[in-house]
Amino acid sequence: IGVIDSGVGGLTVAKQIMKLLPEETIYYIGDTARCPYGPRSRKEVREFTWQMAEALRDMGVKMLVIACNTATAVALHSLQKHMPFPVLGVINAGARAAIKKTKTHEIVVLATEGTVKSGAYEEAVLSLSTSSRVIPLACPTFVPLVESGEYRSDFATQLIAEGLEPLRDERFDTVILGCTHYPILQKQIEAAVGPNVTVLSSAEETAYDVDHYLTYNHELATNQAPQHKFFATGSVPIFRSIAEDWLELGELHIEKIQLPYKK
């Protein structure tokens, strides 16, 4: 299974897939040299995402998961049309889970600026449930907060409260974490929105989608010792320290990759 992301954040999605489907082999590309995608133009994000998909196509994956919400928002449909294997994104999975959960049909989506501007979550939610209302909120301080490593501090609690301030007068019962990094902040976001609101991670829902797809198509792997491979466009040692800390699988196979990729 190929997994692509703007950097290391998509490891939240990769981890959920590994947990649910431990016999699958993951090939992960993180475009760490050009991360973050959140503030970039649609054109750039689409081009970079295509380069990663083409690299994994040339490596022979059986399906592709776009772990990055920003990349899903702008590149999912074109990749689904042109790649020779199924392509899943993180947005539909999160939207579907929210529809199942909500009672009031008022759903908040927290995401990067790029994802919010694209309107992709509204589109996904409304295509499943026309009676739902989506309240999108860009939280541009959250990715830098996670990447600063200070996400457990009092400062973090305060920054999260400030970021969610625009929701003060809104009514909603469900929140979608529409960005790879936000599951790291899940506990604090839950505390900020209170006990009557369900907070859903697109990362976890995407793993269920992958499972359903492979089960239904009888394409599940049976490999007791899968040899995952990780590729980063930027520094391998930095990628290694974050990935090994996060995945807790011991020493990982990590290579530097150049995009566009030459076989």
**Residues interacting with ligand I24, by CB under 6 A?**
7-9, 11-12, 32, 146-147, 149, 181, 184, 234-235, 238-239, 242, 245-246
Q: Which of residues 57-116 bind ligand DGL (CB under 6 A)?
A: 68-70, 112, 115
User: Burial letters for 105-122: b for 16+ Cβ neighbours within 10 Å, e otherwise?
Assistant: bebbbbbbebbbbbebbb
16 counts as binding ligand DGL under rule CB under 6 A: no
Active site residue 179: yes
Other C-beta atoms lying within 10 Å of the C-beta of residue 156: 18
Residue 70 is classified by DSSP as H
List the catalytic residue out of 55, 68, 120, 139. Answer: 68
φ, ψ of residue 114 to 5 degrees: the values are -60, -45
Among residues 134 and 184, whose Cβ is nearest to ligand I24?
184
Shortest distance, CB of residue 220 to ligand I24, whole angstroms? 25
Pick the catalytic residue: 179, 214, 243, 247? 179
The nearest distance, CB 170 to ligand I24, in angstroms, is 27
Q: How far apart are the first and last CA of the chain?
A: 18
> Which one of residues 181, 189, 210, 230 is an interface residue with ligand DGL (CB under 6 A)?
181
Select 8 or 55, whichever has its Cβ closest to ligand DGL: 8
Q: Site for ligand DGL (CB under 6 A): which residue of 6, 49, 51, 206? A: 6
Establish if 37 lies at the interface with ligand DGL (CB under 6 A).
Answer: yes
Residue closest to 92 by CA, chosen among 127, 53, 63, 64: 127
What's the helix, strand, coil split of the chain in %, to 5?
50, 15, 35
For ligand I24, which is the closer residue by CB, 96 or 181? 181
- Compute the distance between CA of residue 77 and CA of residue 79 in angstroms, rounded to an integer: 5
The whole-angstrom separation of Cα 148 and Cα 187 is 18
Residues of this chain that interact with ligand DGL (CB under 6 A) are: 5-7, 9, 35-38, 68-70, 112, 115, 143, 179-181
